[in-house]
Each structure stands twice: as C-alpha cells, then as structure tokens.
Structure 1
C-alpha cells in the first residue's frame, strides 16, 4: 500500500477509540453516517417473525427495483456483535438488493454488552430455523431459496448458525456467503496463529485492539470464547455445511482466519469457494457502489448465486478437486 495512504489510515485506527467505553457513541455515529445521503431503494418494511426475544424478531425487508432472483438473502450485519444495526446497514442492504437483484432481509439481533453471548446468536438461529420450517413467513415457496449472508461478526453468526443446525440434526440452508468473518477467538498479535493479525492488526480499518474489545463485550468469559458458536474454527465436526462462498479482504487482520475456516470446511467434505479481494480493507461491503472492492465482491457473489446447486448441496457435498484454485484467483475457485 502507498505509504502516504497507510499513514492516513493509521489516523483512524481503532486504538484511538476505547470501544468498551465509547460503543454507544460509535453506534450513534454509524446511524448518522448511514443517513447521509438518504439511501434510494424501492421499498423497505418492518416485519416480525414469531420466536426468539419477546416472541418476535424484527427484520427489515429490502426489494430491488428489478427482481432477478427468487432467492432470499438473509443478512446478519457486522459491527463486532456490539455496534451496527438495521439503520446503519440500510445503505449496504439496499445496495445488496440492487446489485444481486434479490430480496434482502436484515435481522435486528440483540447486541452486546447489553445482551452478551449467546443472545445475538440465539436470535439469528431462531430466525433461520423458523424460516426453514415455514418459508411462507418470508413469502418463499421453498426453504432452498434462503441464502445466509453475513459480514464480519455477522459472517461469524451465519457460520455458527449453520454449524449448530447440523449439530442438532436440523436441516440447514443450502448456501452461505461469509464476508471476512470472525472464525477464531484469539486476536492478540503476541499469540494469534494467523499472520494477518500480525501484519494488519494495527494499521488499517480494523485493529486487533478493537476485535479484542468486541470479543470481551460479546463473550465476557474467556473460556466460552472457544465455543464453536463463537469460534467456528474450534468446531470438532465441520461436515454437512452449506455450499460456501468465503470472501476475504487482503488488508484485513481477519483474512487468514476466514480462509483457514474455508479450507477446514473443504477438508470436511463441503463445497467451498474462496475469493480474496485485493487491496481491500475490512468492512468494504458498506462502501459506495462505485468502490472497486465492492464491485469485485458482487461480481463473485452473483457468479456464486448463478451456479446451479448440486442435488446434495447443504449436506455432505463433494468439495471438488481443483487444486489450482485459491484466494488469489480472479473468480471464486473450488478449494480442494
């Protein structure tokens, strides 16, 4: 990266923000930024789906101007399980609906520290389970139309939900798109097993200090952070997972752990594709539509959604044998 640009990015590094004290201010700022300029979308609405907290889970529905797909993208937002919400992610969800041509449903799961683990996870799990049992709640003619999508902490929740469904013997979704997810509990540069934490944990958009603050608020008990519902890489059984598209950002401290999880899924017999967006920072899915990183990612996402699902997708699908494919490929490749 250009040294001048790197220096500028350092000015916005998270060690200058104490997330454990200032998370409420960050939430407020995120909502203000999301409102400028006013997002343009065909329609949105609030709905509730029975189950979960107080017998309902709020969602916001985004419809594209031109609907080109029958899939429903069930979206779990990022923000370290602490910040981010439907309001702050409205521009990103509206963009997702337009660029994919699919309806997007954004889930308003509970946030830490007011509601620590497993509250947010339970909301997301309940939502997926209810839609799988009754797709008509979202005007779907079948549960195979549901695609889980999540970025950062939301990608963590999507992966954890899929693992839990298989663990309990429930039917899962057939596809999931994981955008630079958290998959491991350790983000201390002194002890983390991932090189990207050492290389990108201080200089860019997301820092190791911020991730550790988020983790402490989400899961106060250090031992509980090894739970697969928090750290999917710790799961003893990764079989029977949805066909997965893993998208990582080159300059993100979470890059290596996301790709490690994708490789582990493939080794367990799942169909997995990895795409690393070159030059991208953490959180790029929230950038304006003209962003190169955003366009790169949606080209790959649309290709993934266009592909025909094998008959056994979402069970123990064959991981394929393309040994040359990997995170640096221009299109998503099947991981052996």
Structure 2
C-alpha cells in the first residue's frame, strides 16, 4: 500500500498531472487504489455481502450469518470525496462484524469530480433517513441504534450528516465515530501541516497538496497548480468580515494542546488573498455542510468518538472539532494516537490498527450497554 501511495502521490501521479491534467491524475489514483481489491475476491463464510439500493443510492450491505445485535453501523468511506469505494474497507468491516455481530451498511456515494458538493452528502443523508423511517424494518434493525462512522473525507460526511439531523430535528444517530476527519478547509498552515513540511515531506501519507486538490475537485474549482498553491498559502480566505473574524476563535493555533505546537510554528493568519478564488469558494466554505467546524447551536448533537493521529495533517482540525463539540456540552470520547498516521486503518500491517479497532468496538459496546 505504501508503494502504491508513492506512485500515485509523488511519482507517476505528478507526470500524469503535468501531461494530461488533474482529471486524469484522479483516474490514475482510482486505478492504483483499486489494486488491493484483488485481495478481496473471497469473503468470509460467516457473512453475506450484497450490493443493494437504498433511497436510490448504491450501498454495500454486510449481513452476519449469526447476528447478535439489532444495532448497525452506517459507514461512510474516505478517499478525498474522489477515490476509494466501500469494497476498499472490507477488512475493517469484517473486524467489526466479527467483534460486534451487527449489520453494517457502507454507502457507495457518488464521487467528485463527476458529482460535486453537496451530492456526496445528499446521498449519505438520504440513505440514513431512509433507514430510520422505512428500511429499518427491511433490515431488522433498531433505528435508534445506528452508529454513523466515517474516516477522513468520510469522517467529514459523517459529521455533516449528524449535524443535519440536529438542525432538522430529525432522529439522530446513536453516536458518530469520526476517524481522522476532514473538518474544515480554512487553514493549510496549521501546526500539523507545518510539521508535515518540516519532518515528513515526500512521505506517502496524506500530503497538503493532495488535500488542497481534493477540496478543489469537491467544490468544482479548477484544479490548477496556481489554485493549489494559493490554498496552501491560505490565500483563499477573505482577510476581513464576520466569518473570518469567527475563524480566529474556533481554529486559532492557541486553542490547540501545547504539545501540538512547535516554537517555530507560525500563527494562523490570512495574508494577501486572491479575490477571484475567494469568490469561487465563499459560496460554500463557510457552510457547515462543508466545514462542520462552522456548526452552531450544537447542543443535543449525537455523542461522538473522534480519533486523531499524531502524524497527520488533519490532526489539528479533528482536535479543534473536539473542542467545539465540548463547548456545546456534546459528549465526546477523544482518542489521540500519537505515533499513528493518516490512513493507517487501510494499511494491512499497521501496528496501530488492531488497537484502534479494539477501542472503537469498545466505544460502541459501551453505548449499547447504556440501552440495556
């Protein structure tokens, strides 16, 4: 997997981007990320996997042959809103089914750049609402015991879907489990981004350029090198205005744990900006459907488990989301794994994977025991 990431992110990907453009680079990334699927030709004998439709959205349904719970997990996969598919998470899903004995449904939401924001969110939201209003009978689940889980971009989608139910006064998920989530697109120079450039530049893990380009793909903004660099320099956010002033109070670096900040790190600030880029992005970036950190009146939001990794550019925004939710008295279980990196749950031989999966399963079991 590490070798595949290097090919996609640093080597062949750069050549394809230069010669053919970002669309073809994204296609290459999808093809490369699909290679490990060759290992998923056979599923365990103790479950049945079916590709089905819920609310006109494709889903991958995992049926344990010996179900031990009427709860379920609704999984929203990562991949920068542009890559990966539910099948890429089979190993992770298998663990939870074996440990918890519950049905799991993974949403095969439509991906960018073919389908722009907010279509991936709308797909996930539609599946959730169909499950809690109608299809819970079809699947034999308790609609009050749906655990909403997602990683990276899927963690963003899960956070957004949870907030949507609160705003709509709709039945909320039992809990939301956000695994190294993407929470906002405002600060590409946070300490975790800066530390990537200092210590991990060129590594195969999620890198700043990739994250910036995924946001551009998602929002339908031209994925040019110029636009990418402007995001990385925080030149995509207006210097003045109500929303910009608010950012200082919710994503300021001084709000992070002291251990996350190096004395050489720069503070969050908006310098010279590109007015055209700001105009293209301002239609969406302050919306909590894109940036959950902008959520307001979050009292009563579903309990959360938020997982962050020490070697991850998204570390800081996940941590700040913990702080935001706690400020609204939302119950949050924050697990920070200091020596882990972004995407380790997709790595078959990760030393930290079993520990994190065990912790997530323990969290789910603890929430189910509250109902017993």
Residue 25 of structure 1 deviates from its aligned partner by: 1.4
**Equivalent in 352, 355, 359 of residue 296 of structure 1:** 355
**1:101-155 superposed Cα distances (whole Å, 9 cap, x missing partner):** 3321110101000000011010011111111212535523421121001000001
- Distance change >3 Å, CA 272–CA 310, structure 1 → 2: farther
The match for 1:44 is 49
**Equivalent in 29, 34, 38 of residue 32 of structure 2:** 29
The match for 1:316 is none
Q: Is 1:305–2:300 an aligned residue pair?
A: no
- Distance change >3 Å, CA 132–CA 27, structure 1 → 2: same
The match for 1:146 is 146
The match for 2:310 is 250
Of 71-80 and 138-147, more deviation after overlay is shown by: 138-147
Contact 1:48/1:58, CA 8 A, preserved across alignment: yes
- Distance change >3 Å, CA 255–CA 135, structure 1 → 2: same
- Distance change >3 Å, CA 117–CA 36, structure 1 → 2: same
Residue 95 of structure 1 deviates from its aligned partner by: 3.5
* Partner SS state of residue 36, structure 1: helix
- Distance change >3 Å, CA 12–CA 255, structure 1 → 2: farther
The match for 2:285 is 225
Q: Is 1:81–2:94 an aligned residue pair?
A: no
Contact 1:111/1:120, CA 8 A, preserved across alignment: yes
RMSD between aligned residues: 2.6
- Distance change >3 Å, CA 29–CA 100, structure 1 → 2: farther
Q: Name stretches of at least 5 consecutive residues in structure 2 with no aligned partner.
A: 222-279
Contact 1:250/1:276, CA 8 A, preserved across alignment: yes
What's the TM-score, normalizing by structure 2? 0.73
- Distance change >3 Å, CA 149–CA 11, structure 1 → 2: closer
Q: Is 1:130–2:133 an aligned residue pair?
A: no
Q: Name stretches of at least 5 consecutive residues in structure 1 with no aligned partner.
A: 1-5, 313-336
**How far, CA to CA, are the matches of 2:111 and 2:4 in structure 1?**
27
The match for 2:235 is none
Residue 237 of structure 1 deviates from its aligned partner by: 2.6
Runs of 4+ residues deviating >6 angstroms: none
- Distance change >3 Å, CA 86–CA 244, structure 1 → 2: same
**How far, CA to CA, are the matches of 2:109 and 2:158 in structure 1?**
12
**How far, CA to CA, are the matches of 1:98 and 1:141 in structure 2?**
17
Contact 1:57/1:107, CA 8 A, preserved across alignment: yes
How many residue pairs end up in the alignment?
296
- Distance change >3 Å, CA 109–CA 11, structure 1 → 2: closer
Residue 46 of structure 1 deviates from its aligned partner by: 1.4
What's the TM-score, normalizing by structure 1? 0.80
**How far, CA to CA, are the matches of 2:154 and 2:172 in structure 1?**
17
**1:11-70 superposed Cα distances (whole Å, 9 cap, x missing partner):** 568354357241111112222212226453321011111x3xxxx111111234654433
